[in-house]
Structure 1
Amino acid sequence: MARSAKDHKTNALRELAAAGLSHEALFFEADPSMTGVEIAHAQGEEVDAVFKTLVTEGKSGAHYVFLVPVACELDLKKAAAAAGEKAVAMCKARDLLPLTGYVHGGCSPIGMKKRFPTFVDETAQLFDTIYFSGGKVGCQVRMAPDDLGLLVPFRYADLTV
């Protein structure tokens, strides 16, 4: 069952509204056991155009954000190379909220507590619009990747296994 956008403002949606960038906020009942691929299918979205937001920590201690298609896995070696690190590791789910302000499954590249270097898988360039978390479980944003780059500077890179 759809929920209205005004019932669930997130930091990401507030920043998007303030920036005046073209986007669509999509709300849905979220089953925590569903994968990103299952959610994409349930929403009738093209799986390759739906991206998950992953937060990592480099060997240097710096944090990085990576957006990769939900059906793919982040290649940690490629991610490290893109970030200029010797190695990166996924952040633990329990560390996400204090670090980003978001919970696991609802982490958006927009509206984090602090802006981290961000990288988007190069396949995003194949789509006019992509989907990614709107800042809470059960909320997605649909927008042009180039518009996302106006709000969250990022670099495209080959990031998947």
Structure 2
Amino acid sequence: MTPAINSLKRAKQAYRILEYHHDANAGAYGIEAATKLSLDPSLVFKTLVAKLDNEKLVVAIIPVAEKLNMKLLAKAAGVKKAAMASAQEVERSTGYVLGGVSPLGQKRPLATFIDISAESLEQIYVSGGKRGLDIELTPASLQQLTKANFTPLTV
């Protein structure tokens, strides 16, 4: 079990685990998950960690086929500037490796923002805390567990 799954169990939230064989040569982890699990990419969300004003780390959850708009993230967080965090910062802060970063069960809870596109969906899929493992849950459950805000994050 991963910390993400353990956090869902503790919170008594409904979820479903989906597993696939991860290809070590895969470049885009989220697209790989959508393809191997035969899911619509608009339902599969990736977890990104960004740095605000060169200090505070935050989580942005967006569809795997989309690109995070840093200006929109900065606006949502109420700061001037956002940039992607380094791999080292991501792994140290979340406790997960790149390609397996889950928004759930992170070592240090971070302010979290979920792209507005998720809000109207019945189910979404996020990383389960390791490569080759995804979790199906409702956007409302994800919002509640991460104390996230739904906001536009992609263009």
TM-score, normalised via structure 2 length = 0.94
Which of 79, 89, 100 is matched with 1:106 structurally? 100
- Counterpart-to-counterpart distance in 2, 1:101 and 1:160: 26
- Whether the 8 Å contact between 2:49 and 2:84 is mirrored in structure 1 is yes
How much does 1:113 deviate?
A: 1.0
Q: Which structure 1 segments of 5+ residues have no match?
A: 1-8
AA aligned opposite 1:12: A
Give the aligned partner of residue 22 of structure 1: 14
- Counterpart-to-counterpart distance in 1, 2:77 and 2:24: 30
- Counterpart-to-counterpart distance in 2, 1:16 and 1:70: 22
- Counterpart-to-counterpart distance in 2, 1:146 and 1:32: 32
Give the aligned partner of residue 75 of structure 2: 81
Which of 34-43 and 49-58 deviates more? 34-43
Give the aligned partner of residue 122 of structure 1: 116
What SS class does the counterpart of residue 119 from structure 2 fall into? helix
Structure 1 position 145 matched with structure 2 position 151: no
How much does 1:92 deviate?
A: 1.1
Q: State percent identity of aligned pairs.
A: 37
Give the aligned partner of residue 2 of structure 2: 10
Instruction: Tell me the matched-pair count.
Output: 153
Give the aligned partner of residue 157 of structure 1: 151
Which of 147-156 and 26-35 deviates more? 26-35
AA aligned opposite 1:108: S
How much does 1:157 deviate?
A: 0.7
TM-score, normalised via structure 1 length = 0.91
Which of 119-128 and 24-33 deviates more? 24-33
- Counterpart-to-counterpart distance in 2, 1:141 and 1:75: 25
How much does 1:60 deviate?
A: 5.4
Give the aligned partner of residue 67 of structure 1: 61
- Counterpart-to-counterpart distance in 2, 1:37 and 1:126: 21
Deviation >4 Å, runs of 4+: none
- Counterpart-to-counterpart distance in 2, 1:114 and 1:70: 23
- Whether the 8 Å contact between 1:76 and 1:87 is mirrored in structure 2 is yes
